């Protein structure tokens, strides 16, 4: 295939070139590549990004397929422009052994939408009592370990996990939450929680565990990755640690940089997410952290739920937002169009950095590289309608929001896996 006249989003610039793809690889990037019987795709006026990589999603499969399954989740991913996703282990059974990991990999291959990289649990059953079979899971194909959904409370166990994972060249992805401080809270502790009469979660619940995991990484001189950062104080902790030479990387999500906790006062349970959406001071710090490189990646933390999980009182509702189909639009609208990040910076946060942190192929548009590409029209507007999501999870609080950035094609290993109809 030859992709003609697209604006290529490279590491430091955007250039108009043709791309020749053969056998799943980019073999040539140049002007006016001569045709030799290849299929041609006209990308005039469109931007071509390295295939987007989401290193934090929940596919719910095995065991919770009524919320999402590997087929619906990966088809939603390619519609959102993602060529690779990394799925968290809090399935049923928990992905804490090679059997579950192998099932996920094999099922994803059968579906054949985007590439799926499983993340294994740190502890057996995510109970925080014994280390899972990390070596076996690594051999079966995990790219990282995490007890996402809960923090590993026992600091000694977390230390052992980081040491062991580092020896196997596997990253620890840390969900940072002190459950005792959360104490049944459901939203950010602040003015909005007071107005709504909902129990708040203090920033310290997140910050204390961020500080602990940074301290462990520093003392062991091993890498650590902090998941879904939501607080201004957490951004500061990570920034200071990076300056001190600690091997820490971090991610955040669209709902932390685009809105504030004022959205909870309407009692829409789709705004209930963990960690919670915070205040303006936090939103601004997240934007600054993305800008200055403190926050390395943008992820979705795509957490699909069945309507019954959300159609209850706020306190009883499940935490999570289904966001894999809206993330790219949020980045273009709230980061690029708003002048916060350039297009190469967005490609870095949503593709190159996740690939680098987890050792995945892709993340760049380069000759000899894998032909994972996302082609989008950045000036076309669209309106979020959760009812039209490919994902089984319609739990998104941003219905009616107008966004820029429509994904036209998602190409995985040189094959078109999604085309906008």
| pLDDT tens digits for range 89-142 | 999 999 999 999 999 999 999 999 999 999 999 999 999 999 999 999 999 999
DSSP 21-57: EETTEEEEEESSPPPSS--EEE-TT-EEEEPEEEEEE
> Cα(223)–Cα(282) distance, rounded to whole angstroms?
25
Question: Integer distance in angstroms from the first to the last C-alpha of the chain?
Answer: 20
pLDDT above 90 as % of the chain: 99
DSSP 304-333: ---HHHHSS-GGGSPP----TTTHHHHIII
pLDDT in tens, 333-345: 999 999 999 999 9
Tell me which residue of 130, 135, 156, 155 sits closest to 145, measured CA to CA: 135
Confidence bin at 413 (pLDDT 50/70/90): very high
Q: Which two three-digit tokens encode residue 88?
A: 């968290």
pLDDT in tens, 156-212: 999 999 999 999 999 999 999 999 999 999 999 999 999 999 999 999 999 999 999
Exposure b/e, 375-386, CB count within 10 A at least 16 = b: bbbbebebebeb
- The yes or no reply on domain 52-362 and CATH 3.40.47.10 is no
Average model confidence (pLDDT) across the chain: 98
Q: How many C-alpha atoms does 371 have within 13 Å on its Cβ side?
A: 21
Strand partners, 415: 412
Confidence bin at 282 (pLDDT 50/70/90): very high
Q: Which two three-digit tokens encode residue 318?
A: 């499940």
Report, as residue numbers or ranges, the catalytic residues. 301
Which pTM does this prediction carry? 0.97
Classified as helix, coil or strand, 172 is strand
> Cα(296)–Cα(345) distance, rounded to whole angstroms?
10
Tell me which residue of 57, 47, 59, 53 sits closest to 84, measured CA to CA: 53
> Cα(392)–Cα(66) distance, rounded to whole angstroms?
8
Q: How many C-alpha atoms does 349 have within 13 Å on its Cβ side?
A: 31
Which residues are within 8 A (CB) of 411 and not within 5 positions of it... i.e. 6 or more apart?
21, 51, 83, 371, 372, 373, 374, 375, 417
Length of the chain: 421
Cα–Cα separations (whole angstroms), residue 301 to 142, 237, 274: 18, 21, 9
Average the pLDDT over 343-369 and give the result.
Answer: 98
Average the pLDDT over 231-251 and give the result.
Answer: 98
Instruction: Evaluate whether 65 touches 306 at the Cβ level (below 8 Å).
Output: no
> Cα(419)–Cα(421) distance, rounded to whole angstroms?
6
Query: Which pairing describes strands 373-383 and 402-412: parallel, antiparallel, or unpaired?
Result: antiparallel
> Cα(7)–Cα(109) distance, rounded to whole angstroms?
31
> Cα(116)–Cα(334) distance, rounded to whole angstroms?
27
Confidence bin at 225 (pLDDT 50/70/90): very high
């Amino acid at each position: 295939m030859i992709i003609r006249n697209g604006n290529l989003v490279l590491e430091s610039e955007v250039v108009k070139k043709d791309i020749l793809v053969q056998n799943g690889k980019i073999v040539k990037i140049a002007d006016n590549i001569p045709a030799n019987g290849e299929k041609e795709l006209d990308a005039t006026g469109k931007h071509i990004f390295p295939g987007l990589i989401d290193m934090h999603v929940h596919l719910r499969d095995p065991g919770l397929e009524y919320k999402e399954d590997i087929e619906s989740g990966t088809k939603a991913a390619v519609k959102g422009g993602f060529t690779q996703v990394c799925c968290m282990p809090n399935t049923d059974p928990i992905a804490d052994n090679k059997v579950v990991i192998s099932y996920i990999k094999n099922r994803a291959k059968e579906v054949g939408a985007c590439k799926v990289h499983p993340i294994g649990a740190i502890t057996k059953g995510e109970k925080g009592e014994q280390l899972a079979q990390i070596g076996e899971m690594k051999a079966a194909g995990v790219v990282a370990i995490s007890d996402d959904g809960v923090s590993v409370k026992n600091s000694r166990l977390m230390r052992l996990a980081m040491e062991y994972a580092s020896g196997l060249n596997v990253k620890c992805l840390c969900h940072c939450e002190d459950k005792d401080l959360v104490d049944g809270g459901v939203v950010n502790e602040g003015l909005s929680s007071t107005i709504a009469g909902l129990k708040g979660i203090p920033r310290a619940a997140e910050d204390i565990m961020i500080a602990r995991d940074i301290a462990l990484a520093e003392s062991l001189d091993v890498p650590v990755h902090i998941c879904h950062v939501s607080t201004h104080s957490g951004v500061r902790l990570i920034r200071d640690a990076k300056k001190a030479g600690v091997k820490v990387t971090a991610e955040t999500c669209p709902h932390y940089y685009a809105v504030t906790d004022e959205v909870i006062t309407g009692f829409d349970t789709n705004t209930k997410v963990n960690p919670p959406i915070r205040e303006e001071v936090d939103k601004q710090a997240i934007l600054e952290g993305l800008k200055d490189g403190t926050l390395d990646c943008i992820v979705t933390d795509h957490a699909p739920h069945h309507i019954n999980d959300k159609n209850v009182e706020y306190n009883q509702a499940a935490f999570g937002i289904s966001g894999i189909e809206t993330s790219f639009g949020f980045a273009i609208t709230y980061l690029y169009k708003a002048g916060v990040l350039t297009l190469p910076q967005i490609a870095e946060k949503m593709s190159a950095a996740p690939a680098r942190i987890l050792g995945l192929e892709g993340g760049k548009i380069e000759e000899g590289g894998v032909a994972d590409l996302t082609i989008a029209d950045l000036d076309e507007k669209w309106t979020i309608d959760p009812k039209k999501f490919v994902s089984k999870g319609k739990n998104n609080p941003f219905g009616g929001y107008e966004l820029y950035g429509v994904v036209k094609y998602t190409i995985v290993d040189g094959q078109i896996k999604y085309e906008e109809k």
